[in-house]
Structure 1
Amino acid sequence: MTSKSMLLSVSLAVAGALASGAVSARTEIQNKGSDTLVNVAQSWAEQYGKINPNVAVAVSGGGSGTGIAAMINGTVDIANSSRKMKDKEIAEAKAKGHDPVEHVVGYDALAIFVHKNFPGDSMTITDLAKIYGRGGGATKWSDLGITIPGCKDEIVVVSRQNNSGTYAYFQEAVLGEKGKFRQGTLDMHGSKDVADLVEKTPCAIGYSGLAYATDHLKALCIAPEKGKPCVKPTEDTAFDGTYPIARPLFMYTDGQPKADTKKYMDWIKSDVGQCIVAKEGYAPIKKVTCK
């Protein structure tokens, strides 16, 4: 076949497809960011594709910092984040002609995971600060009066990488605004990595979204300080804020969402979208009745 006849053949095929309606415009929404939100974001995208097949939502993780950087640079339609954007990040985005608008899409109880053989069921924020804080004073479980079967006493401190919104939120909520993490933590790329490592390591402690809890881990009941009652991490305690390390989960759009992005965001906040939040182990933004 000559080049001219091949070109004619392709042109006729495209023309035929257009005439038959086989080729249709499809909108793609770029959605990037938080590893805490990545599972529910993928579920949203999958279910929305069934409702509106003309819209494809491309979801990727990488951490809240990755999503926020993409929002600042204008390379994403929706940025997922498990922390609020900082004032300097918003200013940087605006300097580049972008206007981040915040949407709360769910709530999470940031669970403190320990091995299933851990002897206790609770811990205080003060204890967590001793374990995770630089110069906190607890490098061995015996420093806290704890003995764990199968553990040689050293605390294996599991954390997240510093581009994670979970890392930033934990730092602020547990260590304080100027608090720093201790050196020597095992910094995991994703929330699931934290849960997997703690599950296999008797001496370990780690923090992660409640949705990553399994029957092979223990999620501790957390008290603000010694002598105060502890609260278990659940969807209800995340929603009402009684759990000491509860947080909202965010999506950011460049300005108020429009067209297909607005329809998608409205659907996420609808009862159907919020039931997916609940199914994935997070707390919805409102009371919903799910099948």
Structure 2
Amino acid sequence: MKNVLVSLLTCVLLALVTGCKGGDRGEGAAKQDAGAPAAEGNALTVKGSDTMVILGQQWAEAFMKARPDLRVQVTGGGSGTGLAALLNGTTEVAMSSRPIKPAEAQQVKARHGVEAKGTAVARDGVTFYVHESNPVRALSIDQLQAIYLGDLKNWKEVGGPDARIAVYSRENSSGTYVFVKDEVLKGQDFTSEALTLPGTAAVVNAISKEKYGIGFGGAAYGKGIRELAVKVGNDEVAPTEANIQSGRYPLSRDLFFYTRGEPSGRAKTFIDFTLSPEGQAIVTKVGYFPLKK
């Protein structure tokens, strides 16, 4: 009995000693810890564009399979929300479907002492959607402008049925909203009759159910509805990969990651992955277009 008690006391003392030394468990245990996934709170944060959120999540999943020691957390909210998070320090990478505004860039520089660095990671074409039963196949920029300003209200004015146009838009924190306001409306305000929805997927869902609706978003979301071509002179230019890559489609754009200063550390590792052949293949898989080689 005495020997048993001595053995127990010895084990307790050894446990206390190793605990005080920080739990030294040998070289094998140390190597295992080095390869363990990072805690969720230590994840690389990527936030912003709803247009890019599915793409960002696909990138993150593939990246974490290749790098199980790193974690990437992707959330949406809109390009403006992502860039605001970059400014206030709550995200390391902002996703944006539009270039950063000069005022936003100045705020980042004033607050953090470094320039906001934008990296193009994919190509997209802002696409206008209609219900699959709508006979209208193409609209000019002027016609789209008139519809979204509220000056053109009936489909019959553009070769469609005699029915009032139901106009759908994105919220003003969306980079796609800003792009359409700048490139289609030339800085003018959207009609007050436009129905604002929180994401491109919601716009697509609404148009798939609204026979006389029109909405817009990224090319990757054009499922279950029909995408309009854009009239350019006598041509009707569809948002195909060739037309978007060449810029012939007039609403082509780059999709960006923004960082505070040049990408470094885990942010650079992740961005480099998105630009790799594997990362650019995911762009195609999701439905957007890879950068030109």
Give the number of the structure whose alpha-carbon radius of gyration is greater. 2
In structure 2, the CA distance between the partners of 1:146 and 1:260, relative to structure 1 (3 Å rule), is same
1:33–1:64 contact (8 Å) kept in structure 2: yes
Aligned residue number for residue 204 of structure 2: 195
Cα deviation for residue 120 of structure 1 reads 2.2
Cα separation, 1, equivalents of 2:235 and 2:65: 45
Structure-1 residue corresponding to 2:87: 72
- Seq. identity, %: 37
* CA distance, structure 1, for counterparts of residue 195 and residue 109 of structure 2: 35
Structure-2-length-normalised TM-score: 0.86
- How many pairs does the alignment contain? 272
Contact 2:169-2:216 within 8 A present in 1 as well: yes
* 8 A Cα contact 1:17 1:23, kept in partner: no
Aligned to 1:159: 169
Shift in alpha-carbon separation, 1:146–1:100, aligned structure 2, 3 A? same
Deviation of 1:236 (Å):
2.0
For 2:160, the equivalent position in structure 1 comes to: 146
Cα distance in 1, alignment partners of residues 159 and 74 from structure 2: 44
Distance of 1:83 and 1:130 partners within structure 2: 23
Please say if 1:115 is aligned against 2:131. yes
Determine which of 143, 146, 152 is the counterpart of 1:127. 143
Aligned residue type for 1:142: K
TM-score, normalised on structure 1?
A: 0.87
Paired position in structure 2 for 1:3: none
Aligned Cα root-mean-square deviation (Å): 2.4
AA at the equivalent of 1:159 = S
The SS at the match of 2:230 is: strand
Shift of 1:234: 1.6
Please tell me whether the aligned partners of residues 235 and 281 of structure 1 are also in contact (alpha carbons under 8 angstroms).
no
CA distance in 2 between partners of 1:53 and 1:137 (Å): 54
Query: Residues of 1 paired with 2:91 and 2:278: CA distance?
Result: 24
Question: Which residue pairs with 1:233 in the alignment?
Answer: 239
- Tell me the distance in 2 between the aligned counterparts of 1:236 and 1:209: 16
- Aligned-pair distance for 1:16? 6.8
Q: Distance in 2 between matches of 1:78 and 1:84?
A: 14
Instruction: Tell me if the contact between 1:223 and 1:244 (Cα under 8 Å) persists in the aligned partners.
Output: no
Tell me, yes or no, if the aligned pair for 2:171 and 2:198 is still in contact at 8 Å. yes
Structure with bigger helix share is 2
Name the CA shift for 1:119/1:88 in 2 (closer, same or farther; >3 Å).
Answer: same
Match of 1:277 among 256, 260, 283: 283
Distance in structure 1 (CA, Å) of the matches to 2:180 and 2:135: 24
